[in-house]
Homo-oligomer: A and B are copies of this chain.
Amino acid sequence: MARVGLNAERLTRAGAELADEVGFDKVTVSALARRFGVKDASLYSHVRNSQDLKTRIALLALEELADRVAAALAGRAGKDALAAFANAYRDYAREHPGRYAAAQLELDYEAARNSAAVRHSRMTRAILRGYDLAEPDETDAVRLLGSTFHGYVTLERAGSFQHTPRTAEDTWSRILDALDALLRTWPTA
């Protein structure tokens, strides 16, 4: 029988594409096998199980996203860096909804520790260097930015901003202004 040449990496990539096409929750071992023209059982030589496959897609998405953010951040500082970071994040979510959803998968401690999630938090901290915040304010600000960006992207994708004439685009840009202003005048405890 002709061999297709499967391996964990090809499966992960194809799984990510599938996620963007039909939604991360609809990525199944069966659907992926179908896409390669092989039987379901054949995939189990390459990935441990369905959960393992999903985790791999999540890790791939985290890496890709971190790469993009890193590229966007290069050579920028202050509000410029803030906007570049935020836009890289939002654009990725819009271009790759399935992958973005995958990146939200809850990883266990060990997996998270070794994932690009670490790069993400380091890069967020890097942005804040332009704003001169001492600990624990910096940690609080990291969490604020992470929450706001993630929350915004999630709500936008869910269509929550479609009920008023104000575009998601315009609000986004004003929110970046507002966060920049906030970081420059971070209230002391």
Contacts and interface: CB of A to CB of B under 8 A. Distances in A.
Q: Would you call the interface of chain A mostly helix, strand, loop, or mixed?
A: helix
Nearest to A135: B166
Contacts of A175: 140, 143-144, 147
Interface residues of A, number: 40
Interface of A: 25, 104, 106, 109, 112, 121, 136-137, 139-140, 143-144, 146-152, 154-155, 158-161, 163-164, 166, 170-171, 174-175, 177-178, 181-182, 185-187, 189
15 contacts: A25-B25, A104-B158, A106-B158, A109-B159, A136-B174, A139-B164, A140-B178, A146-B160, A147-B147, A148-B151, A151-B154, A178-B182, A178-B186, A181-B182, A185-B185
